């Protein structure tokens, strides 16, 4: 006998201002199965939860429906609540009358109330068909994978490793270090980026619990929280890592040349190379696109081979192939970082064709002592020191029409930092910054910005730049000082654009491989914008750093630490609870046709032989068997099953049809 308790939440005025909660409670009072119904201001609050628990005891309820916000918000809260009062936590359903009702039907109180009643009735009809379910258990692989070896990935790995767990860092490029290794100085303290990053890189490479997997890519992720099975493609390095000593002789005579990506193509590098002198591992790779040997092989010849002749350790291996291997991990941290927005979409800024219109990251390489100009700030076109520099903020950011709608968060500060660096290096150079707003919410950030203007004499002009064009030797910048209400033209020797941050171009594919969400711009989606900033909706997968959204170094590091704690909490368990909401097969109905087997994305279904006694005889036949620890509960098999033998617990055919019927009853 079902005894359902129904609790309608006002959520303050969030629901109560639109939906007549008392009327909803009243109208389902006599609905089949309902033993008790009421409404309350805040159901999720302490007194609200007590109210539910008391009602369960007083009215001898065996099922509960709460109509309030989205189950994605509070399903866990209320399940725990009913469990405390002795009910099985799956004897509970939620009706979403906030996100799906009051918030989207403001001012249409009558219709919204009718809708809320429908939604509650659907939930009641479903809960009447709910069954007691018990969580299962699965072992945990006590090792984590961090995807991405930038500052977020390194910090996260160190924190996990220092907690005593094994962790692998998977890095796409030949070295860890990420974007931070390209940056010269860090704001607001102007300490040298390399000086604070390289010790961390060394620590990561020498940590007994950390394994670096560089020049490798994520290929496939199978399994589930606690037991991910990850396939990794180790790209052919053409250098035998076990033999190479990192002496660097091979690079001295290499005739192959390519654009040096690390230095933003401001100079050339050799075909066999390490991206930068402090690279870790400090062992080179051959870039087969620009290597003369590999290029000649495409034409059926086989020339060069200088590096192999020079290598004293015999480490060069031209025949190396990509290798696929599989590892097991208990948790995965995504730390795939960001890329710089490409400003060449802007025709008004020259479609990227003017050599002296550069991006922020270009400037970092220009001003870096180990960069292509040994740290001298000079124009790329003629290597002369610029006497006037114009900086333009929000290039690609806050531009929904041509670029990205969001604010990239870091540009105000990195522009201020770069402006002060120009004034430091070239005291006679004038620096103008075009801005729309100056956004400096961070410790000592606004103070830094004010010093930039007051002490360093950088001129800030409020307005977006409309056009930049080459005018003889200089660049003419056309902007507006919106505070003066006057057009401004400046002849600049160099223009530095504060390019937006965009996700790693591969982020969508990565999200699909790992099975996490991403937003319209490709940033990975956290499980809750406030309360779950480093978790994802996929259990066991966490986020660190800028892959979740534009972030500076301090925020990335903080988030990396937070992700590490979540990973450690997961790995500290010997066993994990598994959701019981998995498929099951009714052997009596199963014909053993096997159609469900290939449909399952988790390979959780297999055919097994059972023995049955039919008419006094023992016969053997095949039926489908579902491995509950592999099944993730998608329900694909249930629809494929011809005989209706497969069913998904907690979303059974009976439950869903009960909901459909409940809704349609109100029509007939």
Subset of residues 43 to 72 that bind other proteins, contact rule: CB under 8 A:
70-72
Question: What is the rounded end-to-end Cα distance, in angstroms, of the chain?
Answer: 27
The yes or no reply on residue 663 touching other proteins (CB under 8 A) is yes
Residue with tokens 């109100």: 666
The yes or no reply on residue 299 touching other proteins (CB under 8 A) is no
Draw the binding track, 171-210, toward other proteins (x: CB under 8 A; -: no contact): ----------------------------------------
The yes or no reply on residue 505 touching other proteins (CB under 8 A) is no
Draw the binding track, 101-130, toward other proteins (x: CB under 8 A; -: no contact): x-xxxx-x--xx-xx--xx--x--------
Q: How far is CA 19 from CA 67, 69, 104, in A?
A: 11, 13, 11
The yes or no reply on residue 309 touching other proteins (CB under 8 A) is no
Which of 373, 377, 453 lies closest to 415, judged by CA?
A: 453
Rounded CA-CA distance 268/613 in Å is 78
Residue with tokens 């991006």: 359
Draw the binding track, 203-232, toward other proteins (x: CB under 8 A; -: no contact): ------------------------------
Closer residue to other proteins, CB minimum distance, 426 or 513 = 513
- Which residues, listed in sequence order, are joined to residue 516 by a DSSP beta bridge? none
Which of 474, 468, 378 lies closest to 426, judged by CA?
A: 378
The yes or no reply on residue 233 touching other proteins (CB under 8 A) is no
Draw the binding track, 444-463, toward other proteins (x: CB under 8 A; -: no contact): ------------------xx
Q: Of 132, 190, 195, 664, which lies in the binding site for other proteins, with binding defined by CB under 8 A?
A: 664
Residue with tokens 């870096």: 368
Q: How many CA atoms lie within 13 A of 547 on its CB side?
A: 37
Q: Where are the beta strands (DSSP E) in 190-238?
A: 191-192, 210-213, 216-224, 227-234
**Rounded to 10 degrees, what is the CA torsion of 201, 203, 207, 209?**
-60
Closer residue to other proteins, CB minimum distance, 320 or 470 = 470
Q: How far is the CB of 300 from other proteins (least distance, A)?
A: 34
Closer residue to other proteins, CB minimum distance, 144 or 468 = 468
The yes or no reply on residue 23 touching other proteins (CB under 8 A) is no
The yes or no reply on residue 422 touching other proteins (CB under 8 A) is no
**Angle made by CA atoms 523, 524, 528, in degrees to the nearest 5:** 120
Q: How far is the CB of 353 from other proteins (least distance, A)?
A: 8
User: Where is 257: in which H helix or E strand?
Assistant: strand 257-259
Rounded CA-CA distance 194/110 in Å is 63
User: Where is 609: in which H helix or E strand?
Assistant: strand 605-614
Which pair of tokens denotes residue 133?
């379910």
Which residues have CB under 8 Å from 331's CB, separation 6+? 144, 145, 225, 226, 228, 540, 541, 542, 566, 567, 570, 571
What is the crossing angle of helices 193-206 and 151-162, to 10°?
A: 40
Q: Which of residues 571-600 bind other proteins (CB under 8 A)?
A: 581, 595, 599
Closer residue to other proteins, CB minimum distance, 67 or 564 = 67
Closer residue to other proteins, CB minimum distance, 103 or 456 = 103
Q: Binding residues for other proteins, how many (CB under 8 A)?
A: 91
Q: How far is the CB of 204 from other proteins (least distance, A)?
A: 32
Q: Which of residues 640-659 bind other proteins (CB under 8 A)?
A: 640-642, 648, 651, 653, 656-657, 659
Rg (C-alpha) for the chain, rounded Å, is 31
Q: Which of residues 151-170 bind other proteins (CB under 8 A)?
A: none
The yes or no reply on residue 348 touching other proteins (CB under 8 A) is yes
Which pair of tokens denotes residue 55?
């009602």
Closer residue to other proteins, CB minimum distance, 262 or 518 = 518
Closer residue to other proteins, CB minimum distance, 223 or 246 = 223
Rounded CA-CA distance 449/413 in Å is 7
Part in contact with other proteins (CB under 8 A); list of ranges 249-257, 267-275, 317-325, 468-476: 468-476
Part in contact with other proteins (CB under 8 A); list of ranges 38-46, 132-140, 187-195, 635-643: 635-643
Rounded CA-CA distance 341/361 in Å is 10
Closer residue to other proteins, CB minimum distance, 91 or 285 = 91
**Angle made by CA atoms 246, 337, 373, in degrees to the nearest 5:** 55
* Residue 506, burial from CB neighbour count under 10 angstroms (0-12, 13-18, 19+): middle
Closer residue to other proteins, CB minimum distance, 42 or 103 = 103
For the chain, the helix, strand and coil percentages under 3-state DSSP, each to the nearest 5:
30, 25, 45
Closer residue to other proteins, CB minimum distance, 203 or 521 = 521
Q: Of 131, 517, 572, 603, which lies in the binding site for other proteins, with binding defined by CB under 8 A?
A: 517
Closer residue to other proteins, CB minimum distance, 12 or 314 = 12
Part in contact with other proteins (CB under 8 A); list of ranges 279-287, 316-324, 395-403, 611-619: 395-403
Q: How far is the CB of 348 from other proteins (least distance, A)?
A: 5
Q: How far is the CB of 175 from other proteins (least distance, A)?
A: 31
Q: Of 402, 450, 603, 608, which lies in the binding site for other proteins, with binding defined by CB under 8 A?
A: 402
Q: How far is the CB of 17 from other proteins (least distance, A)?
A: 12
Q: Of 23, 425, 464, 573, which lies in the binding site for other proteins, with binding defined by CB under 8 A?
A: 464
How many other CB atoms are found less than 10 A from the CB of residue 528?
12
The yes or no reply on residue 382 touching other proteins (CB under 8 A) is no
Rounded CA-CA distance 505/458 in Å is 34
Q: Of 203, 219, 399, 491, which lies in the binding site for other proteins, with binding defined by CB under 8 A?
A: 399
Q: How far is CA 413 from CA 74, 161, 332, 393, in A?
A: 38, 32, 31, 10
The yes or no reply on residue 661 touching other proteins (CB under 8 A) is yes
The yes or no reply on residue 344 touching other proteins (CB under 8 A) is no
Q: How far is the CB of 598 from other proteins (least distance, A)?
A: 9
The yes or no reply on residue 525 touching other proteins (CB under 8 A) is yes
């Amino acid at each position: 006998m079902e005894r359902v308790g129904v609790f309608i939440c006002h959520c303050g005025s969030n629901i109560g201002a639109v939906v007549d909660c008392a009327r909803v409670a009243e109208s389902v009072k006599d609905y089949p199965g309902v033993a008790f119904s009421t409404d309350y201001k805040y159901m999720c609050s302490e007194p609200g939860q007590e109210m539910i628990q008391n009602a369960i005891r007083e009215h001898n309820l065996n099922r509960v429906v709460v109509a309030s916000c989205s189950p994605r918000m509070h399903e866990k809260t209320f399940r725990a609540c009913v469990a405390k009062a002795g009910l099985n936590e799956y004897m509970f359903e939620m009706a979403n009358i906030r996100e799906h009702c009051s918030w989207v039907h403001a001012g249409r109180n009558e219709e919204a109330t009718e809708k809320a009643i429908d939604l509650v009735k659907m939930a009641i009809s479903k809960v009447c068909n709910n069954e007691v379910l018990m969580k299962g258990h699965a072992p945990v692989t006590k090792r984590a994978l961090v995807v991405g070896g930038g500052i977020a990935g390194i910090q996260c790995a160190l924190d996990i490793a220092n907690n005593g767990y094994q962790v692998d860092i998977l890095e796409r490029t030949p070295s860890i270090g990420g974007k931070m290794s390209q940056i010269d100085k860090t704001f607001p303290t102007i300490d040298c980026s390399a000086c604070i990053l390289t010790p961390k890189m060394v620590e990561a490479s020498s940590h007994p619990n950390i394994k670096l997997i560089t020049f490798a890519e994520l290929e496939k992720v199978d399994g589930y929280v606690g037991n991910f099975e990850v396939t990794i493609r180790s790209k052919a390095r053409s250098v035998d890592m076990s033999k190479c000593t990192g002496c660097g002789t091979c690079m001295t005579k290499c005739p192959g040349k390519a654009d040096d990506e690390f230095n933003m193509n401001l100079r050339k590098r050799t075909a066999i190379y390490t991206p930068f002198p402090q690279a870790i591992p400090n062992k080179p790779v051959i870039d087969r696109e620009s290597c003369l040997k590999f290029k000649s092989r495409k034409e059926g010849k086989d020339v060069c081979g200088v590096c192999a002749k020079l290598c004293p350790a015999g480490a060069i291996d031209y025949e190396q192939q990509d290798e696929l291997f599989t590892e097991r991990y208990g948790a995965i941290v995504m730390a795939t970082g960001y890329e710089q927005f490409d400003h060449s979409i802007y025709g008004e800024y020259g479609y990227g064709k003017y050599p002296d219109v550069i991006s922020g990251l270009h400037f970092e390489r220009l001003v870096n002592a180990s960069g292509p100009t040994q740290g001298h700030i000079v124009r790329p076109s003629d290597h002369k020191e610029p006497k006037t520099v114009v900086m333009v903020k929000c290039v690609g950011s806050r531009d929904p029409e041509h670029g990205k709608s969001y604010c990239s968060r870091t540009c105000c500060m990195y522009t201020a930092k770069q402006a002060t660096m120009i004034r430091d290096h070239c005291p006679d150079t004038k620096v103008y910054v075009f801005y729309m707003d100056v956004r400096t919410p961070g410790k000592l950030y606004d103070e830094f910005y004010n010093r930039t203007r007051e002490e360093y004499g950088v001129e800030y002009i409020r307005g977006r730049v409309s056009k930049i064009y080459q005018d003889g030797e200089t660049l003419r910048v056309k902007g507006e000082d919106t505070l003066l209400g006057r057009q401004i033209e400046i002849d600049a020797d160099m223009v530095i654009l504060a390019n937006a941050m965009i996700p790693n171009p591969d982020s969508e594919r990565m999200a699909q491989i790992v099975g996490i969400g991403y937003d319209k711009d490709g940033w990975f989606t956290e499980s809750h914008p406030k309360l779950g900033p480093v978790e994802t909706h996929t259990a066991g997968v966490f986020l660190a750093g800028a892959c979740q959204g534009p972030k500076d170094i301090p925020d990335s590091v903080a988030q990396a630490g937070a992700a590490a704690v979540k990973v450690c909490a997961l790995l500290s368990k010997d066993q994990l609870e598994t959701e019981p909401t998995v498929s099951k097969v009714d052997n009596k109905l199963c014909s053993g046709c096997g159609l469900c087997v290939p449909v399952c994305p988790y390979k959780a279904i297999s055919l097994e032989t059972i023995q049955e006694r039919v008419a006094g005889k023992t016969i053997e036949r095949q039926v489908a068997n579902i491995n509950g620890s592999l099944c993730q509960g998608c329900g694909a098999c249930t629809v494929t099953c011809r005989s209706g033998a497969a069913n998904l617990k907690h979303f059974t055919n009976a439950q869903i049809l009960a909901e459909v019927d409940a809704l349609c009853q109100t029509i007939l």
